[in-house]
Structure 1
Amino acid sequence: MSTASTALPVVVIGSGIAGLTTALALAPHHIVLVTKARLGEQTSSAWAQGGIAAAMGADDSVELHLNDTLAAGDGLVDEQAASFILSRAADAVSWLEAQGASFDRQADGTLSLGLEAAHCRRRIVHASGDASGASIVNALIRQVLQTPSITVLEGAEAERLLVTEGRVCGLSLNVAGSSRTVLSSAVVLATGGIGGLYEATTNPIGNFGQGIALAARAGAALADLEFVQFHPTALASPRTPLALISEAVRGEGAALLNERGERFMADVPGAELASRDVVARAISAEIGRGGRVFLDARSTLGHRFAKRFPSIAALCQEAGIDPARDAIPVRPAVHYHMGGVATDLAGRTSVGGLWAVGEVAATGLHGANRLASNSLLEATVMGLSAARDIASAFLPSPPAYLEAPEPRCGISPDAALRALTTRSLGVLRNEAGLTQAVNQFRPLALTHGSDAAIVALAIGAFALERRESRGAHARTDFPQSAKPPVRQRMTLSEIIERTRALENAPLARSA
């Protein structure tokens, strides 16, 4: 297939805060913004209740924010990456305001700063109360629609990255059931997380790690995939996906109680505001013994709940719960993935022509456990950083020829895969369960070409290699943390090789 274009666009895949920021910051370069849903829909960014962590209070500093991030990350935070991102928080907030985002302020005009778990200061910048993500996303969308250099391609699903001579030069899309090839000078992955691999998640169920699969097939290095953060307090209801009860509710004094009315977190350091992995494991233990867990804000917020958390109050009302009168039933659910495509501080992956920003990327900021509200900060800072890098990079001319992309096959997870992922790659893990999962994911990934199975296989392989408990990765057979802490990094070919000995059936074909 020959080509003859000289001015190729930068393709950004994803319309959450990371993707929208990257696209806007690259203007006036020609951008094609690819989104499988309508612009800004089915993105975790728009569902974010908490806000942006930024050390902007009079009693706060970047150093204090860094200390909290290092503590939450349980020994695996890349301190250089964390310092880079956290020190740019004020600039990120200012940039978002310049794009039209309106952050909540006090009567004197200063930012209204909230408190969340494992933060030593009030430093969460909110927009529209507990609808921060939606408010910011909507502001960015308005800017995108007014930017002539950005072409929005809705209803388009990225299937494969096109690679020639070791460099990404475009991608294959499925648009309304038809294949379409788009050549590019650069591709930016901003595809979000992996919650759709699990039965219980607070993420859009269509997000199951597509960006990781795209990058893995292209040969990019992956990092930290074993670290899956379970939000401790999703609303326990039949809703799919589960509604999130922000930990800002606990920041306002709400207590966790079991069905006996016992405050089971009272003697744990940090209590209800301990790091998410600690709270999630404690709640899982209560549920595992056959109990139930409730978040009780009746005495601390009472009738003020609906004013302070209007979106959460509406979600509770939908489930027949009045937080002013009722304790809220909660359970852990997949909320955020600390791992992803390995990048540097310009968003560059190990494959030329490919950048990754937001939740799909692994910068090292989060380590083994993300500190609350650091994610929207990272999405904004790294979107801006990647845009600067791409704008200044040498982008080669299009290739003369391209190989035909692999055919689309079995991309999405089915109920059986979700059940296996939930059972084997959940809050608590062990070697037997991980081995069983890898043995079942492997043929689906290699023989059937399932993108979802590739991501699940990779998470399982990383989890098997980490023979310790650290942060969001808890092994019942290795309950202690090993020393020294080491980040893991593997390509898909290395994952396949390391899991080869675990495969029960003969390898059907190589990847």
Structure 2
Amino acid sequence: MIYKRYLQNFDTKKDDVVIFDVVIIGTGIAGMYTALNIDKRIKVAIITKKTIQNSNTAIAQGGIAVPIGNDDSPDIHYMDTIKAGSGLCNSKMAKILVSEALINIEMLIKMGVPFDLDDENKIVLGQEGAHTKKRILHAGGDATGRIISEHLGAKLKLAENITIFENTFLVDIITIGHAAVGVLLKQKGKKFILFSKYIVLASGGYGYIYKYTTNPEVTTGDGCAAAIRCGAKVVDMEFVQFHPTVLFHPMNNSFLISEAVRGEGGILYNSKGERFMSNYHHLAELAPRDIVARSIFFEMQKTNSKNVFLDVTHLDKEFIKRRFPNIYSKCIKIGLDITKERIPVAPAQHYSMGGVLSDENGKTTVENLFVCGEAAGTMVHGANRLASNSLLEGLVFGRRIAQFINNHQLGSLKIISIGYKEERGNDNLNIISEAELLREKMSFQAGIIRINGDLRNLLDFIINRIDYLKNKKLQNLKEIEFYNMLTVGYTIVQAALMREESRGSHYRYDFPQQDDINWKKHLIFSLNGWEVIDKNA
């Protein structure tokens, strides 16, 4: 059903082709950190859809989970990760994640990333939901992602072996047989090809296919869709994480109110002024985020309201301003003083556990194609990511990819003749309205609560659009982007239909119980169809 490729009849003239050793798609923490860990003698191109500071990393507030406290250990961090993942974490990958956390943080510190320190010049450790220990490192209070992104970006620009391509769109991955050999790109209307010995997808998630999301507009699943088209397998696509507390305000419905706010003592109240989380879980506000998100959803239904409230007014005013400067200033700008008023919040899509299937070195099922960060399906998060493990995942597996490339340099690259058919845009498509309709349907029919009828209705809608578009001439980037959104949406909805149980972030109203007997398994999709594998197989 999904097979549209854009590589036909392209005349590979000399000016249309550039050769690199490594091409990296994406400039979040995973892409930038991978590039900076690659041997300086290796020629690297790094591609970003907009600018190098436009990514989920740059807006990440939470922090990085690292087991460095005196009462903490990788084993405890591992158990917290496994428990949050609802029985579907890959044990091997989870152990790699926690055991290599410290070395990567030490490397960030050597790169000059200024993590928050206390009066004794020791790293401040925060607490977040489902963590049994304080182990969250922050920079700039709630500006961790932005500060890391800016520091890595500055180093990226100084690296002589790295060429940055901004405002450049990934159209397709070029393959010979079952091996990736390059990428077809478009920049300011010009199409060109980068041939490469290795390709690394660090293209982020696909949050923007949901109407209510914390993700920026660039997150339309382009890397994941291109990987599917070139034959790669994807896994765990039904597991989409919804952040419980996103600002719900007429002036902003996408600004994330960090998990750390509840970690520091924030309390949730419904529209009637009643505290409710203890009715749903013994950890109350510190329960795993999938439970908190669903609890808020159910509470909103009970009270017939569009939001609940997060209260920090009982905390010290100066502490709030110092600990959450970004959140405080953002809310002040819209007329909300969080030291005096409760914050209106509601759940929204935030993170994708699933992605392009990869091994411990980031290798996908397509030769010479690697993946890391949110684009990857490492199975490390299972059915529900433990808070602040996402930036850590990008670091750990990004560095592993770089080490593999450093130790396995290929010989000379053979340039082949590649086709690309020059196409005209399709005037009959109203892409903007179609994309918005898809996003709305994804939020309401494949969101926090799912049921057979809604999912089937949405799947029919997606298949109908794909069938219409796959034989049309798509050149306009918005059209290709919409096709990518449909491709990814298909895998999410089909997997959600197939998994007839509730587990982690995937909640079926018609199958509300977790079924370990029949569903302790992973769903994998490729152009050859679906396959089911047992956990850790």
What is the TM-score when the length of structure 1 is the normalising length?
A: 0.93
Written as runs of structure 1 = structure 2, the 5 A alignment for 1:376-395 is: 376-395=391-410
Written as runs of structure 1 = structure 2, the 5 A alignment for 1:486-505 is: 486-494=521-529
Q: 1:335 & 1:373 partners in 2: Cα distance?
A: 12
Q: 1:100 & 1:322 partners in 2: Cα distance?
A: 33
Residue 514 of structure 2: aligned partner: 481
Q: CA deviation at 1:37?
A: 1.0
Residue 158 of structure 2: aligned partner: 146
Written as runs of structure 1 = structure 2, the 5 A alignment for 1:28-39 is: 28=40, 29-39=42-52
Once the two structures are overlaid, the 10-residue window that deviates more, 302-311 or 467-476, is: 302-311
How much is the aligned-residue C-alpha RMSD, in angstroms? 2.0
Matched-pair contact (CA < 8 Å) for 1:203–1:241: no
Matched-pair contact (CA < 8 Å) for 2:353–2:374: yes
Matched-pair contact (CA < 8 Å) for 1:27–1:150: no
Once the two structures are overlaid, the 10-residue window that deviates more, 6-15 or 241-250, is: 6-15
Letter in 2 for 1:298: T
Residue 289 of structure 2: aligned partner: 276
Written as runs of structure 1 = structure 2, the 5 A alignment for 1:318-467 is: 318-395=333-410, 397-405=412-420, 414-449=435-470, 450-467=483-500
Check 1:405–1:432 CA distance in 2 against 1; reply closer, same or farther (3 A cut). Answer: farther
Once the two structures are overlaid, the 10-residue window that deviates more, 98-107 or 337-346, is: 98-107
Q: Give the fraction of aligned pairs with identical amino acids, expressed as a percent.
A: 38
3-state DSSP class of the match of 2:461? helix
5+ residue gaps in structure 2? 1-10, 471-482, 533-537
Q: 2:148 & 2:215 partners in 1: Cα distance?
A: 17
Does residue 13 in structure 1 map to residue 25 in structure 2? yes
Matched-pair contact (CA < 8 Å) for 1:445–1:451: no
Q: 1:401 & 1:446 partners in 2: Cα distance?
A: 31
Q: Deviations over 1:138-191 (max 9, x none)?
A: 110111111000000111010101111211111111101221111111111111
Q: Deviations over 1:425-465 (max 9, x none)?
A: 10000111111111111132343141110000111111111
Matched-pair contact (CA < 8 Å) for 1:236–1:330: yes
Check 1:400–1:147 CA distance in 2 against 1; reply closer, same or farther (3 A cut). Answer: closer
Matched-pair contact (CA < 8 Å) for 2:125–2:135: yes
Residue 509 of structure 1: aligned partner: none
Q: 2:422 & 2:202 partners in 1: Cα distance?
A: 23
Q: Deviations over 1:66-90 (max 9, x none)?
A: 1110110000000110001110111
Matched-pair contact (CA < 8 Å) for 1:164–1:399: no
Matched-pair contact (CA < 8 Å) for 1:445–1:457: no
Check 1:119–1:13 CA distance in 2 against 1; reply closer, same or farther (3 A cut). Answer: same
Residue 169 of structure 2: aligned partner: 157
Q: 1:182 & 1:119 partners in 2: Cα distance?
A: 43
3-state DSSP class of the match of 2:185? strand
Q: CA deviation at 1:491?
A: 0.7
Residue 97 of structure 2: aligned partner: 85
Q: CA deviation at 1:209?
A: 1.2
- Equivalenced residue count is 496
Q: Deviations over 1:84-119 (max 9, x none)?
A: 111011101011111121111122222110000000
Letter in 2 for 1:127: A
Does residue 266 in structure 1 map to residue 278 in structure 2? yes
Check 1:118–1:405 CA distance in 2 against 1; reply closer, same or farther (3 A cut). Answer: farther
3-state DSSP class of the match of 2:123? coil
Runs of 4+ in 1 over 4 A off after TM superposition: 1-7, 405-413
Q: 2:62 & 2:252 partners in 1: Cα distance?
A: 20
Residue 175 of structure 1: aligned partner: 187
Q: Deviations over 1:117-136 (max 9, x none)?
A: 00000000111111011111
Q: 1:208 & 1:226 partners in 2: Cα distance?
A: 16
Letter in 2 for 1:32: A
5+ residue gaps in structure 1? 499-511
Q: 1:368 & 1:407 partners in 2: Cα distance?
A: 42
Q: 2:201 & 2:251 partners in 1: Cα distance?
A: 29
Residue 501 of structure 1: aligned partner: none
Check 1:238–1:493 CA distance in 2 against 1; reply closer, same or farther (3 A cut). Answer: farther
Q: CA deviation at 1:238?
A: 3.4
Matched-pair contact (CA < 8 Å) for 1:189–1:356: yes
Matched-pair contact (CA < 8 Å) for 1:468–1:481: yes
Check 1:3–1:90 CA distance in 2 against 1; reply closer, same or farther (3 A cut). Answer: farther
Letter in 2 for 1:488: L
Written as runs of structure 1 = structure 2, the 5 A alignment for 1:233-244 is: 233-239=245-251, 242-244=254-256
Q: 1:58 & 1:83 partners in 2: Cα distance?
A: 19
Residue 506 of structure 1: aligned partner: none
Once the two structures are overlaid, the 10-residue window that deviates more, 96-105 or 325-334, is: 96-105
Does residue 286 in structure 1 map to residue 319 in structure 2? no
Residue 49 of structure 1: aligned partner: 61
Check 1:378–1:405 CA distance in 2 against 1; reply closer, same or farther (3 A cut). Answer: farther
Matched-pair contact (CA < 8 Å) for 1:15–1:40: yes
Written as runs of structure 1 = structure 2, the 5 A alignment for 1:189-200 is: 189-200=201-212
Once the two structures are overlaid, the 10-residue window that deviates more, 451-460 or 286-295, is: 286-295
Once the two structures are overlaid, the 10-residue window that deviates more, 399-408 or 206-215, is: 399-408
Matched-pair contact (CA < 8 Å) for 2:20–2:45: no
Q: CA deviation at 1:241?
A: 6.1
Q: CA deviation at 1:316?
A: 1.2
